[in-house]
Amino acid sequence: MDDKINELEIDLYRAWQTILKLLPEHFSDILESSRNCQSHDEAIQWSYMIIDKLLELTQPFQDGAEDRAYCPLCGDGSSSSFRTGYAYPEGLRRHLSGDGRACECFVFHFARKLAIRRFTSVDQRTAKIKKELENRRLMEDTFRIEPLRAPKVLDEDKFNSARSPERLSWAENRLKELGFEIHYSARVKSYTQQHGAFVVFADPRGEGELRFSVYKQEQMERVSSPLQLQTSSFFLRDNWTNDLAGKYRTRLAQSIESLMSQNEA
Ligand SMILES: [Zn+2]
């Protein structure tokens, strides 16, 4: 029985990959952006947010006085033989979300199910670890390494290894030399640098490199979900010593350029 289920899951996964390949790239990119979600709640939030993105990218056509559009994911339109496509945007929105009497889009339904299911199983497996982490966050120093998400403990992410206290001081000194401000309040540490309209968050927790993420200040103040934040990242290796400030400036400029070229959701 388990073998049969595994086989069906593999078939389903392949079918899904094929659907993604058949879709225009900007639509498949949106469906695959659920990979950025970091929790069950974020996956649910994501499933609502991307409906707006899909609607924005859909080109409606004129039918009489009305704007209408076919579903960009499954190609469906109204079940009425008198009408083509869905009323745009609300009819198409209902088709995607499955609200009301509209026939739900099977492609979007599946994308949402996959995004959420990933965290249902992960959440179950890691419930104990999460509880331990929550306790540690109350007892230990934590690090705000990005805006709008909770601060993390020293070894919460994937590093080769987390730094020792001595190595963390060394990394903090390096950040100070690069012009970073270190904030420490209520056991939360953060390392930031204002750069015109941009803010750089540093993450010195992992041995071997300093990680940096660049954000638009204006966007940080405006949006409420981390999923709406655009960012661009780079790193500096610990063993680089030659013209570190120059290397930092070059990489920061590249990151800012990349951030400027991203289209806002
Ligand atoms: Zn559809």
**What confidence score (pLDDT) does residue 264 get?**
59
Q: How far is the CA of 122 from the centre of ligand 1 (A)?
A: 28
Assign 189 to helix, strand or coil.
strand
Look at residue 216 in the predicted model and tell me its pLDDT. Answer: 96
- Residues near ion ligand 1 (Cβ under 5 Å): 71, 73-74, 76, 105
Predicted pLDDT at 41? 85
For residue 28, give the 3-state DSSP assignment. helix
CA of 93 to the centre of ligand 1 (A): 10
Q: Cα of 96 to ligand 1 centre, how many Å?
A: 6
CA of 108 to the centre of ligand 1 (A): 7
For residue 98, the CA-to-ligand 1 centroid distance in Å is 10
Token couple for 104: 């739900």
Query: Residue holding tokens 């979300």?
Result: 97
Q: How far, in Å, from the CA of 43 to the mean position of ligand 1?
A: 20
**How far away, in angstroms, is 109 Cα from ligand 1 center?**
9
Residue 38 pLDDT > 90: no
Q: What's the pLDDT score for residue 119?
A: 77
Q: What's the pTM?
A: 0.60
For residue 89, cis peptide bond before it (omega within 30 degrees of 0):
yes
Over the stretch 70-92, which tens digit does the pLDDT of each residue have? Answer: 999 998 887 666 678 899 999 99
Residue 126 scores a pLDDT above 80: no
User: Is 240 in contact with 247 (CB distance < 8 Å)?
Assistant: yes
Given a cut of 60, is residue 265 above it in pLDDT? no
pLDDT of residue 207 exceeding 70: yes
For residue 4, report the distance from its CA to the centre of ligand 1, in Å.
29
User: Strands (DSSP E) along the chain, which ranges?
Assistant: 61-63, 66-69, 86-87, 142-143, 181-185, 188-195, 198-203, 209-216, 232-237
Say how far apart CA 127 and CA 121 lie, in whole Å.
Answer: 10
- State the average pLDDT over residues 98-115: 86
Distance 107 CA to ligand 1 centre (A): 6
CA of 225 to the centre of ligand 1 (A): 26
What are the extents of the domains in the chain?
Answer: 2-125, 140-261
Could you tell me whether strands 209-216 and 198-203 are parallel, antiparallel, or unpaired per DSSP bridges?
antiparallel
pLDDT category at 117 given cuts 50, 70, 90 is: confident
